[in-house]
Chain A
Amino acid sequence: MRSETTVQSGGLHRILYVEDDADIREIVRMSLEMVGRYTVAACESCADALQVVDDFRPDLLLLDVMMPDMDGPSTLRKLRRRDSAVDAPAVFITAKVQAGDMAQYKQLGAFDVIVKPFDPMALPERIGQIWQSYREGEYGDAG
């Protein structure tokens, strides 16, 4: 269900990814590992993510929004209670983006949102940009 591959990339290394659809999960995992050279923990549910998060210590959380039992926002709330994921930026990945949804996602704790369908060749770069802007904001706050 999960695999870990270590690749260096501008301070962002470890991505915890939760997605219920096995096919999409596989494609995203391949994209992030093989194109982006990130280390990915790909989980199929919130419960699965909670099991690995403490060992994995993610730099960034990538969450599908519509999932059975525990959706993306709920999963995020659960993960935030863990020290290992308390300050990692969260990115929602979803097919459901309509007017007003974006603001709602941000309100629910997402740092950014990626819309399906996405190009797996461009996805790692997009994640890198999001990470970059997150770090800039963080340093800005600190400095």
Chain B
Amino acid sequence: MNTRERHNLAYALAGLFVLAFFAWTLNLIFSIQDRWAESNDITAMDKDVHALFDPWRNLNRPGNDVLENYEVAVQKRALERYLEEYRQARGRLDTDSHSGLDLRDYFVAMDSAATDMESLARRVLDLAEEREALRIAGAEPARISAAETEAATTMARMDQAFQSGLAAISDMDRLLDQRLRDLDAARRAGVGSLYLIVIVVLVSSALSLMLLRRTAKQGVALRSGSERLNAIVNNVVDGIVTVDEQGSIESLNRTAEKIFGISAASVEGRNFRSLIQPEDRDLYETSKFRERAEPVAKFYELAGMRRDGSEFAMELEGTRILVEGRPMIIHLVRDVSERKRSAERLQLAATMFENTSEGIMITDSAGRLQSTNPAFTAMTGFTADEVAGQNPRILQSGLQSREYYDAMWRSIGETGQWQGEIINRRKNGEAYTQWLNINAVKDDSGQVSHYVGVMFDISELKASERMKDEFIATVSHELRTPLTAIHGSLSLLENGVTAGSPEKSAELIRIAKSNSQRLVRLIDDILGIAKIESEKTKFHLRTLNLNELANEAADANRDYAKQYGVSLHVEPGPNDARVIGDKDRLVQVLTNLLSNAVKHSPEEGEITLQVVRSDGHWRVCVIDNGPGVPESFRGEIFKKFAQADATDRRRLGGTGLGLSISKAIIDRLGGHMGFESDPGVRTCFYFDLPVMQQRWSGQYGPGRDVASVGVVAGAE
């Protein structure tokens, strides 16, 4: 049995079932209708039977009243009325049988009882009339008594007839009530079944619709070659290419023509491979939809090739089907370059978000943080999870006024944008200054959907600005002091104030001269660091023996140290402690370190100049036993213009540039400068220079200019 025959059998069985189902439903509906009608009949009849009770009781009244009421004529009239009422009620009764409910016996019993009642009642009233006549005529009591006795007997017979009639009516009433209850139950059961049927019909309708749709779809697909199908195929957004089992193109739709930039006629019969970039052709050959014998749909992403050879990202789907017994593959082709490009753009944006050094925070329109990047975390110390859903005000330091933030939000409200400096607090409590740029992002309807804040940490910039301001103030002060002395002494001399005293004049001249020198030193230092930093200074590189260098520097500074009551010692290193460097510059560095050490040594302090080998470097240390470097100043010490204690500046005569200059020199010689400080015990400032390679030490003797090796440019 093939599929079609199986389907037909299934349809036939389903049809039969539906027919039987409908017959049963109809039957049910009719029977409910019948019961409804019968129930109405019986209700009506029951009402009529009920209506019999009162007239029937009335018929018995003459028997009750006859001996007390002597108005026999009145009673007779009443009896006629009662009889009439009864006949009417009786006449309304339908004596036909009702759906197997046989009431004939009850009617017979009731009618015969009624006939008896009528004749007995008349007889009782006649006897009452006769007795009355006898009493009025003064007849013998025996005769009166006889009439009364007969009347009593007759009334007893009336009672019997009344009871049997009443029993017939009551029985009928009971039977009818019972029947009504039965009908009611049957009707309810029928209605329940109807509900069930409605549900069954609804469910089966839905199922049928689904089946019909599927069938309809299959119908469309199977009606190949039709115009309708052609129209569909040519207008779908996907390119459709059909190929045979060998991959030869049989047809392609208009979209496919557009994607590949070819006409259908030009490629029919060619292999689909030719529409794929060469490097991806093998992938196509081994793709699943070319191997499997069953219908299978699979997606592949391959590099497609347009007619002009250009490449595009192609999504290829293949479905293997049998057409008239012949295997065929339908390819759906999509040019996803645009989609890929936008995906790449999104990826790029995401990568930027993740990797940029600017902190980014995105809030919803209510200002709740939705998204923050790693730079935000690095800046604030808060992870994305910690701040999610929070208001960015948790970052505030409280160092800026309410009005400042109000102005910020006013600007965002009016222009959608704000930028400025914000002082925030990191998670660890540290306050920092950031440049914050806030932009409101609007959705298509013009409503603000998000706020994006981009933040740059400018605290270091601020600190260096502050340091520069301070430096300028310091330099200004330092320049004014010698200028005051120079100007003052010259002014006094000029005005002859000291004319009478050659010693005083000489003193003024000395003051003017020494302050000029001080001014020159200061200007030299400022220009010196600028030049070294801008790499304009020429270095004269030579092979240098560090021991000789240390001795030379110590000799040059010994007198200066003596002024402070400080002694200087040299602890030389091995004889091969040689480096390449600029001798004058290195003496400058050592002089600077020594003068710092002297200035910070206690009276009768000791300074040691040490040359040691340290991990691939030669290290020159200047060690003193002064108060050392305060903990808070250690991070700053090599920064320009930095001095631990600003009021020390004058006394120590420094410009705050000495260590900066030294570090700049050592940096340019490829070395490293640092310090270790154990306050009051041992503070060591040192520089490391690379150990000279053996071949170099032979190649470049003392005095040879080695700038050409390229360590540092600028040799003469």
Contact = CB atoms under 8 A, between A and B. Distances in A.
Interface of A: 20-21, 23-24, 26-28, 30-31, 34-35, 66-69, 71, 95-96, 98, 116-121
B650 A117 contact: no
B647 A71 contact: yes
B481 interface: yes
A67 B86 CA distance: 143
B648 A68 contact: yes
Contact of A27 (B476, B489, B650): B489
Interface in B459-501: 473, 476-477, 480-481, 483-485, 487-489, 491-492, 495, 497-498
B651 A20 contact: yes
Contacts of B182: none
B497 A34 contact: yes
B480 A116 contact: yes
Main secondary structure of the interface of A (DSSP, over half): loop
B508 interface: yes
Interface residues of B, number: 26
B504 interface: yes
A28 B485 CA distance: 9
A121 B491 contact: yes
Nearest to A122: B491
B285 to A, nearest CB: 82
B514 interface: yes
A24 B495 CA distance: 18
Contacts of A96: 473, 476-477
A117 B488 contact: yes
A30 B481 contact: no
Contacts of A118: 484, 488
B647 A66 contact: yes
Contacts, number: 80
A68 B488 CA distance: 23
A35 B514 CA distance: 24
B383 interface: no
Interface string B239-269: 0000000000000000000000000000000
Interface in B484-529: 484-485, 487-489, 491-492, 495, 497-498, 504, 507-508, 511, 514-515
B485 A21 contact: yes
B477 A117 contact: no
Shortest Cβ-Cβ A-B pairs, 4 listed: A95-B480, A117-B484, A27-B488, A68-B651
A57 B470 CA distance: 38
B87 to A, nearest CB: 131
Contacts of B484: 24, 27, 95, 116-118
Contacts of A68: 647-648, 650-651
B492 A120 contact: yes
B491 A119 contact: yes
Main secondary structure of the interface of B (DSSP, over half): helix
Contacts of A120: 488, 491-492, 497
B647 A35 contact: no
Contacts of A34: 492, 497-498
Contacts of A117: 480, 483-484, 487-488
Nearest to A34: B497
B492 A27 contact: yes
Interface in B406-459: none
Contact of A98 (B473, B485, B495, B498): B473
Contacts of B485: 21, 23-24, 27
Given A66-B477, A98-B473, A23 B514 contact: yes
A21 B647 CA distance: 13
Contacts of B648: 68
Contacts of B488: 24, 27-28, 31, 117-120
A21 B514 contact: no
Given A68-B648, A68-B651, A21 B481 contact: yes
Most A C-beta atoms less than 10 A away, residue of B473, B481, B648: B481
B403 to A, nearest CB: 22
Contacts of B477: 66, 95-96
Contacts of A20: 650-651
Contact of B515 (A23, A30, A119): A23
A67 B649 CA distance: 9
Contacts of A121: 491-492, 495, 497
Contact of B504 (A21, A30, A67, A71): A30
A77 B132 CA distance: 155
B377 to A, nearest CB: 39
Contact of B497 (A24, A30, A66): A30
Nearest to B510: A23
A66 B645 CA distance: 12
Interface in B43-69: none
Contacts of A23: 485, 489, 511, 514-515
A116 B488 CA distance: 10
A30 B647 contact: no
A25 B61 CA distance: 156
Contacts of B480: 95, 116-117
B349 to A, nearest CB: 46
30 contacts: A20-B650, A21-B485, A21-B650, A23-B489, A23-B514, A24-B481, A24-B484, A27-B485, A27-B492, A27-B508, A30-B498, A31-B488, A31-B492, A31-B497, A35-B495, A35-B497, A68-B648, A68-B650, A68-B651, A69-B647, A95-B480, A95-B484, A116-B481, A116-B483, A119-B488, A119-B491, A120-B491, A120-B492, A121-B492, A121-B497
B563 to A, nearest CB: 15
